[in-house]
Amino acid sequence: MFDEQQLAKARAFRHDLHRHPELRYAEVRTSEKVAERLKALGYQVTTGLAGGTGILAELDTGRPGPVIAFRADMDALPILEANTFDHRSTHEGCMHACGHDGHTATLLLAAERIMQDQAQLNGYLKLLFQPAEEGGNGAEAMVKDGVLDNPRVDAVFGYHNRPGFEAGMLFAKAGPAMGGNDTLKVTIKGTSGHSAMPHLAVDPIYVGSGIIQQLQGLVSRHKSPLEAGTITVSAFHAGDAPNVIPGEAELLVNIRSSTAASREAMAGHVEQTVAGICSIHGAQYQLESLHAVPPVINDPEWAETVLEAGRRFGVSDHIELIDYMPTMGAEDFSFYLNEVPGCFFFVGNGTEGAYLHNEHYDFNDEILPVAAGTFVALVRHLMMSSEQAS
């Protein structure tokens, strides 16, 4: 599907991005490089989206057909890279530890091959190069900027590399595929006092410990045991003196959910739980949502379509529909899927390397033909007639 020159160009582009990682909403150089490449390929390119670095590339065939969209994320992480290979990060304390450099190179490789088939395509293609997947809800910003409209997208697709799975394995899960992520800050306002006279104070540490215990009841007694979900209190800050009951405590609560129902069962009842415990002890509280990403829910038919296209055009020797969630990690691709149906699929990154968000991680260049080939296969499967695609 790809010649060696195309693959070499994709690897070189990926290595260049890895050397020059940029954090969420600061992907200026990356965005410029991507837009330049897309324009050279002949796409209609819109820049400056989603806070300034998002890109929409469009291919209108001028013939009736489906409107489909593909997405790649571009941002890096604030991690000091420990790798020593030639394309290691040159930006101290910043690295592509999740493979977004590979995702971007993948979609550019696919974009080049798709343009070679332009005369045989029917319909409309949108390529979304998104900033700020890592905690910035860049997908939500792209949606708000209208990338799924004019014309309205019929189906949207994206992927993530997955360490721990055979390199080049193409797989997808129908329904819940990745977890939702809600991070809440709970501020408990008590009354400070002397540790020798606790009855004259309202102890926010004691109140907070009760909240921590009761939050676990949302997992065990409110969420269905047939659905996945966790609640983690990841921080508890209060006081700094040995003989003083502080007046305030702060909790950070992280909730992972597999469906809208499990999310509501947990995140939807946090305030009720906090309010009840605080009321018993005479404390006040504030609840703030710091970050919220819904679960990734794949449309079953589109998940099957991804794998069918992959088989039809032979993009991988190992293609599988899995029946389990491969991770409870969050992915803001869910904001696209909340608007239009589609599928977020996976490509194995290999079983030997470091896991995501690790200082030793690196995207496996050997999976570029499979990942990009899946996007090309989807275009041929959906936007070509049977005679043209054969």
pLDDT, tens digit, 9 for 90 and up, residues 59-111: 999 999 999 999 999 999 999 999 999 999 999 999 999 999 999 999 999 99
119 and 173 inside one domain: yes
Three-class DSSP category at 389: helix
Query: Quick check: 156 and 250 in contact, CB under 8 A?
Result: no
Among residues 242, 268, 292, which one ends one of the domains? 292
Instruction: Report residue 83: phi and psi, to 5°.
Output: -70, 160
261 and 171 inside one domain: no
Among residues 260, 292, 324, which one ends one of the domains? 292
Of the candidates 303, 344, 265, 332, the one whose C-alpha atom is nearest the C-alpha of residue 130 is 332
Single pTM value for the model = 0.94
Mean pLDDT of 28-39: 98
210 and 101 inside one domain: no
CA–CA dist 109, 113 (Å, integer): 7
94 and 121 inside one domain: yes
Residue list, annotated binding site: 98, 100, 134, 160, 357
Which pair of structure tokens corresponds to residue 30? Answer: 């990356």
Percentage of residues in the chain with pLDDT exceeding 90?
98
For position 158, which CATH number holds? 3.40.630.10
301: buried, middle or exposed (CB in 10 Å: 19+, 13-18, 0-12)? exposed
Among residues 273, 292, 311, which one ends one of the domains? 292
Query: Quick check: 175 and 297 in contact, CB under 8 A?
Result: yes
156 and 170 inside one domain: yes
CA–CA dist 321, 307 (Å, integer): 7
- Residue 385: band (very low, low, confident or very high) from pLDDT cuts 50, 70, 90: confident
pLDDT, tens digit, 9 for 90 and up, residues 146-190: 999 999 999 999 999 999 999 999 999 999 999 999 999 999 999
Say yes or no to pLDDT of 304 above 80.
Answer: yes
For position 205, which CATH number holds? 3.30.70.360
Residue 124: how many CA atoms within 13 Å on its side-chain side? Answer: 18
- Residue 268: band (very low, low, confident or very high) from pLDDT cuts 50, 70, 90: very high
- Residue 253: band (very low, low, confident or very high) from pLDDT cuts 50, 70, 90: very high
216 and 156 inside one domain: no
pLDDT, tens digit, 9 for 90 and up, residues 341-381: 999 999 999 999 999 999 999 999 999 999 999 999 999 99
57 and 149 inside one domain: yes
pLDDT at 390: 61
Q: Label the pairing between strands 229-238 and 248-257.
A: antiparallel
287 and 299 inside one domain: no
Of the candidates 295, 361, 363, 359, the one whose C-alpha atom is nearest the C-alpha of residue 328 is 295
Residue list, annotated binding site for Mn(2+): 98, 100, 134, 160, 357
47 and 171 inside one domain: yes
What stretch of H or E contains 319?
A: strand 319-322
Write out the residue range of the structural domain in which residue 106 sits: 4-178+295-389
33 and 167 inside one domain: yes
Query: Quick check: 156 and 148 in contact, CB under 8 A?
Result: yes
158 and 14 inside one domain: yes
Q: What is the mean pLDDT of the chain?
A: 97
Of the candidates 38, 137, 109, 101, the one whose C-alpha atom is nearest the C-alpha of residue 46 is 38
368 and 273 inside one domain: no
* Total domains present in the chain: 2
CA–CA dist 278, 202 (Å, integer): 10
Cis peptide before 151 (omega within 30 of 0): yes
pLDDT, tens digit, 9 for 90 and up, residues 279-303: 999 999 999 999 999 999 999 999 9
